[in-house]
């Protein structure tokens, strides 16, 4: 079957009006399509939430600093070297950021405590010897499983740097397959939380998060040596002499 196009129909009366109506319909259809695209477009804000420090801020909080020790039972009046070193580190942390009293919790099975007063006195002496001048309170806690080793728990309240919430929460779907939330090119909410938590855990002095430490006094000897070299017209910089050695000749 063949079809023919009537060229004369374009020049018949009323054909110009039909052509104009057709062009207007096409223009309206194109405008509607563009309007639909514009309605579904998501414009990202200038602040796209990419700064993890704003989503996961680090704060200074008061939290208990704890230490579990297992003193030997053979010589209750003295502590072994490993336990003494642990208590020394515990006392140094208390001097740095501790506040209030130091609590010692002794394990108990039934009415009988597992650690005697001689061991507690040895712990007190070790704390005092390492400069932890604080009131010490002693109490007991029940042991749930006597078959397991029960530690002596020491604790004090300390200033710590920590993220204000836990990591691993996902308040929204990462793929956002059911919404247009993922079209905004924003960092997902949990991004950067682990890094912030790591920084808060590794900082030596939590107060450095809020304010840096003060400058130490300058080295007067180094300063005077530099001034003397400048007055003599010499180079005031420090010259580091490095001597390379053949590593293969070491030990010969």
What's residue 41's pLDDT?
Answer: 42
Mean pLDDT across the chain:
79
Burial class (CB in 10 A: 0-12, 13-18, 19+), 156: buried
Minimum mean pLDDT range among 26-40, 63-77, 82-96, 178-192 = 26-40
122: which residues sit within 8 A by CB, 6+ positions away? 71, 76, 77, 78, 79
Select the more confidently predicted residue: 187 or 13. 187
Q: CA angle at residue 200 from 194 to 206, to 5 degrees?
A: 175
Give the CATH fold of the 58-163 domain. Answer: 60s Ribosomal Protein L30; Chain: A; (3.30.1330)
Mean pLDDT for 152-170 is 89
What's residue 199's pLDDT?
Answer: 92
Mean pLDDT for 170-193 is 74
What's residue 227's pLDDT?
Answer: 92
What's residue 19's pLDDT?
Answer: 63
Token digits of residue 181: 């939330």
Segment 124-141, tens digit of pLDDT: 999 999 999 889 999 999
What's residue 21's pLDDT?
Answer: 64
What's residue 204's pLDDT?
Answer: 83
- Integer-rounded Cα Rg, in Å, for the chain is 38
Select the more confidently predicted residue: 72 or 8. 72
Mean pLDDT for 116-120 is 86
Confidence of residue 39 (pLDDT cuts 50, 70, 90): very low
Token digits of residue 65: 């600093």
Token digits of residue 179: 């919404």
What's residue 136's pLDDT?
Answer: 92
For residue 15, is pLDDT > 90?
Answer: no
Token digits of residue 94: 């208390």
d(CA 132, CA 91): 5
Place of tokens 């400069």: 131
How are beta strands 98-109 and 112-113 bridged, if at all? antiparallel
What's residue 198's pLDDT?
Answer: 93
| Domain boundary assignment for the chain | 58-163
What's residue 31's pLDDT?
Answer: 57
What's residue 29's pLDDT?
Answer: 62
Answer for the pair 100, 134: CB distance below 8 angstroms, yes or no: yes
Confidence of residue 77 (pLDDT cuts 50, 70, 90): confident
For residue 86, is pLDDT > 80?
Answer: yes
What's residue 101's pLDDT?
Answer: 93
């Amino acid at each position: 079957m063949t079809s023919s196009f009537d060229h004369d129909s374009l020049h018949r009366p009323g054909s110009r009006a039909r052509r104009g109506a057709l062009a207007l319909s096409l223009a309206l259809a194109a405008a509607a399509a563009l309007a639909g695209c514009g309605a579904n477009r998501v414009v990202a804000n200038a602040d796209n939430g990419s700064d993890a420090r704003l989503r996961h801020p680090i704060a200074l909080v008061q939290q208990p600093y704890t230490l579990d020790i297992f003193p030997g039972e053979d010589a209750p009046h003295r502590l072994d070297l490993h336990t003494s070193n642990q208590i020394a580190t515990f006392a140094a942390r208390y001097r740095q950021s501790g506040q209030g009293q130091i609590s010692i919790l002794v394990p108990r099975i039934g009415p009988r405590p597992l650690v005697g007063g001689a061991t507690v006195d040895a712990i007190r002496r070790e704390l005092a010897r390492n400069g932890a001048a604080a009131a010490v309170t002693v109490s007991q806690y029940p042991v749930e499983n006597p078959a397991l080793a029960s530690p002596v728990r020491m604790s004090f309240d300390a200033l710590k740097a920590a993220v204000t919430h836990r990591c691993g929460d996902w308040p929204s779907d990462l793929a956002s397959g059911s919404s247009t939330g993922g079209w905004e090119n924003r960092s997902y909410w949990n991004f950067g939380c682990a890094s912030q938590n790591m920084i808060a855990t590794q900082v030596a002095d939590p107060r450095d998060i809020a304010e840096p430490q003060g400058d130490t006094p300058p080295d007067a000897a180094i300063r005077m040596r530099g001034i003397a070299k400048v007055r003599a017209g010499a180079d005031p910089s420090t010259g580091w002499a490095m001597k390379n050695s053949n590593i293969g000749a070491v030990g010969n």
